Amino acid sequence: MERIAASIGDRSPQGIAAAIGRLIGSGDIAAGERLPTVRDLARELGVSPGTVAEAWRMLTVVGAIEARGRAGTYALRTAGPAQRYRSLASGGGAFALDLSTGIPDPALLPELGPLLRRVGGKALSGSYLDRPVLPQLEELLVASWPFAPGGFTVVDGALDALSRVADLIVGFGDRVLIENPAFPPLIDLLERQGAELIALPLDSEGIVPSALINALQLRPSTLFLQPRAHNPTGISMSEQRARELAILLQDHQVTVVEDDHCGDISMAVDVSLGRYLDNRVIHIRSFSKSHGPDLRIAAVGGPVEVVDRLVERRLLGPGWTSRMVQSLLVELLTDPDSIDVVAQARRTYAGRQRELADALASCGLLLSAGDGINQWVPVVDERLALVRAAAAGIGVAPGSPFALSGLTGAHVRVTVGLISSGAEHVAECLAAAALPARPSHAV
């Protein structure tokens, strides 16, 4: 027990849980090893039993430890379920207008039928060990990449990319920097890895530099960020902010993972820290929002050693992303009509963001128009806002699954991209859900 106690510097529940997680991840506490009792460790650390019990609860949630009744508590190496992601489910068709989904407007996606007929007869796989990326697709994507990647591949969507990258570079107990708020599935993934998450606040240009300076003192291993059309806030990182963050990271051994999930429907330029941090940035670009969620394809470019390991591991699973889908993406990226449709979608989403922001301002709720398809709306009370919006026939996503510790105020996420008409009515309903109720006055 003395060995375990000596490794714990931060004696908060989070600090204790992270330290134990690192010991399990490094093998200093072996899988199957019995841990000290709550009371014994609390006495050794000079904290309350409740503090250790809370740390044990955190470790149990991610599957790092297991309580076996009177037999004691034991270290494991497994991890827990996707709690935050599941909590976003809204009930779907119960609403006249469901703005909780985070999906693109189907009417603004390129038509796939003619292109599918074009690629349907092609023989694309000569061997199970062929290169995982079609040469023409790789040439197209690398030419548009924000920096020259050492390695490049495609996988089955942005979440598949994030999951596979996290499996490769995030160890149990690692301190990981993440934006606050953040995409719930990413939080679930990192908690499943047993990472200690360090929340970084955002301003209108991205991660706040002063917060990054403070967080770097904790010696994190990885930084996850969304460079443009951030989900849920709609913030896009400026080029100036990217340079500032890169300068701060220059002397720290931190791997950066960028999730460019909105891609071609973002109004912002494709900014990346990879332009300034040589061989330390993994950039992920998804085509779900711009070209169709069911394509299930995303590109990954970054350090060759990471990408090569990802490719090797996939050989023992799916092997490769469907070459038929890859060929379809080539058509989508080169067909003039499809290019025009995506460009029009980008302008339309930007227009819908402006229309809603203007309509909300008329209702007394001042927000900047976001980038992409989502808007982050502050509310007085999340649960009450959800109920009020639902009473008006509108579904919105709860903000709490996106929020990490330290985020002030309640919020809801609204998929503005689905508001094809009636922005004024939506704004009135959202303002009624977001603003305090006016007191009634007796006559």
Q: What distance lies between CA 183 and its chain's CA centroid?
A: 3
Kindly report the average pLDDT of the chain as a whole number.
Answer: 90
User: Averaged over 218-227, what is the pLDDT?
Assistant: 97
Q: What is the CATH number of domain 2-75?
A: 1.10.10.10
CA distances from 65 to 20, 57, 71, 194 (A): 10, 9, 13, 11
Superfamily of the domain at 83-107+338-434: Aspartate Aminotransferase, domain 1 (3.90.1150.10)
> What pLDDT does 437 receive?
57
The structure tokens listed for 151 are 């390695």
Residue 116 reports pLDDT greater than 90? no
> What pLDDT does 81 receive?
52
The structure tokens listed for 344 are 């029009």
Beta strands 374-379 and 394-395: pairing type?
unpaired
Tell me which H or E stretch contains 214.
Answer: helix 209-216
Q: Kindly provide the residue ranges of all beta strands, DSSP E only, lying in 38-144, ordered along the sequence.
A: 65-67, 73-75, 97-98
User: Averaged over 341-345, what is the pLDDT?
Assistant: 98
Neighbour tally for 27: CB within 10 Å:
10
How far apart CA 160 and CA 148 sit, in angstroms, is: 22
CA distances from 107 to 116, 233, 344, 345 (A): 18, 23, 11, 9
> What pLDDT does 122 receive?
66
Reported as a single tens digit per residue, the pLDDT across 7-23 is 888 888 888 988 888 88
User: Averaged over 399-425, what is the pLDDT?
Assistant: 92
Q: Which of 141-145, 250-254, 339-343, 434-438 has the lowest mean pLDDT?
A: 434-438
Q: Which residues of 40-52 are buried (b: 16+ CB within 10 A; e: fewer)?
A: ebbebbebeeebb
Architecture field, domain 131-335: 3-Layer(aba) Sandwich (3.40)
pTM: 0.82
Domain range list for the chain: 2-75, 83-107+338-434, 131-335
Residue 69 reports pLDDT greater than 90? no
Above pLDDT 70, what percent of the chain? 93
Residue 138 reports pLDDT greater than 90? yes
Residue 306 reports pLDDT greater than 90? yes
Which residue would you say has higher pLDDT here, 13 or 225? 225
Residue 240 reports pLDDT greater than 90? yes
Residue 114 reports pLDDT greater than 90? no
Q: Which of 92-101, 314-323, 360-369 has the lowest mean pLDDT?
A: 92-101
Q: Which residues of 371-386 are buried (b: 16+ CB within 10 A; e: fewer)?
A: bbbbbbbebeebeebb
Closest CA to 202 of 236, 158, 247: 236
How far apart CA 3 and CA 29 sit, in angstroms, is: 10
Residue 157 reports pLDDT greater than 60? yes
